[in-house]
Amino acid sequence: PHAGPVESKNKAAMSELVPELRQKPVVPMKPMGINASLLGYIGIDTIIEQMRKKTMKTGFDFNIMVVGQSGLGKSTLVNTLFKSQVSRKSSGWNREEKIPKTVEIKAIGHVIEEGGVKMKLTVIDTPGFGDQINNENCWEPIEKYINEQYEKFLKEEVNIARKKRIPDTRVHCCLYFISPTGHSLRPLDLEFMKHLSKVVNIIPVIAKADTMTLEEKTEFKQRVRKELEVNGIEFYPQKEFDEDLEDKTENDKIRQESMPFAVVGSDKEYQVNGKRVLGRKTPWGIIEVENLNHCEFALLRDFVIRTHLQDLKEVTHNIHYETYRAKRLNGSGGLPPKTVETEENHESN
């Protein structure tokens, strides 16, 4: 009668031993701080250089749109931003041209090179915006243009034999020019930004800021910020897309202090204290465009080009374009991809 429990004990002991006979799976070691002097130099830090070389070969696309009434210095400002004649003034536009009856959209492409870095810059101008007596729905052609560029990109993307590098014509940034009235935003401004802040990165800019005194400028900026907030208009950099605390801190400062940038543009150079500066000549002196005491142009340029250009492109691709893409593919049950056969059939027909 006692043999039963003993046997079961032995069995239990055996079963405990069995796993010991099997080879244990190799458990990867926890990463430890490697003593650099022990191993010598590996070269992980060259990854950044490899990425740099690759992107240098392909170059960059950047598409910037300027929107606002005529006479606010849109062309001049963009020329000042990129320090070259990149706007429509340089492409044979003359003063005799009549104001367009509806909003026209003109895209002008340029290649700018600096320090071996090539950028294919496209400036999208919107002459005729806000210039009529009745400006109802004058933002529609602009929204249509922005969505057409998303559509073009999407069609290329869903092709079976798609290009390795799809030409990017999507609008990465829209500079919206606010008239320096010193009062409040016009219904047109609010209407435009309400409709388009969902589809493109809008950066509000107070144009010709030299027409206001410093007090007026500060007050107007605060008023514009308040009105945008009350109307629920999200301009770039949007709060919801801040990736980490560092981004949030940096962007909060821009949102609460700098936006909207009160700027003055000029492509004329003057001599000031033996130095050549970009500026505007007035009877009482020269307004230096790049001097932060005179205007916020340098802040805008640093923001658009030196710190946030890549982010503008990423938000366009990952947020605005993705939103368009999801809506489009849900609506049509997936776009039918263009195949080589169907194209050949078309040709033969």
pLDDT digits (tens, 9 = 90+) for 87-101: 655 444 455 556 666
pTM score: 0.79
Q: How many residues make up the chain in this entry?
A: 349
Closest to 73 (Cα-Cα) out of 283, 264, 204: 264
Exposed (0-12), middle (13-18) or buried (19+): which is 256, by Cβ within 10 Å?
A: exposed
pLDDT for 5-24, tens place per residue?
555 555 555 555 555 555 55
Write down the pLDDT at residue 223.
92
Tokens of 35: 């003593």
Q: 177 in helix, strand or coil?
A: strand
d(CA 18, CA 16): 6
What's the CATH superfamily of 59-88+99-263+293-332? P-loop containing nucleotide triphosphate hydrolases (3.40.50.300)
pLDDT for 28-62, tens place per residue?
666 666 555 666 788 888 999 998 888 888 888 99
Exposed (0-12), middle (13-18) or buried (19+): which is 60, by Cβ within 10 Å?
A: middle
- The domain segmentation of the chain, as residue ranges, is 59-88+99-263+293-332
pLDDT for 237-246, tens place per residue?
888 888 888 8
pLDDT for 277-311, tens place per residue?
877 787 777 887 777 778 788 889 899 989 899 99
Strand partners, 111: 120
Residue 312 CB contacts under 8 Å (≥ 6 apart), including other chains: 62, 172, 173, 201, 236, 304
In the 8-state DSSP scheme, what is residue 336? P
Mean pLDDT score of the chain? 81
Q: Compute the average pLDDT of residues 144-164.
A: 91
Question: CA–CA distance from 299 to each of 18, 28, 47, 211 (Å)?
Answer: 72, 50, 31, 19
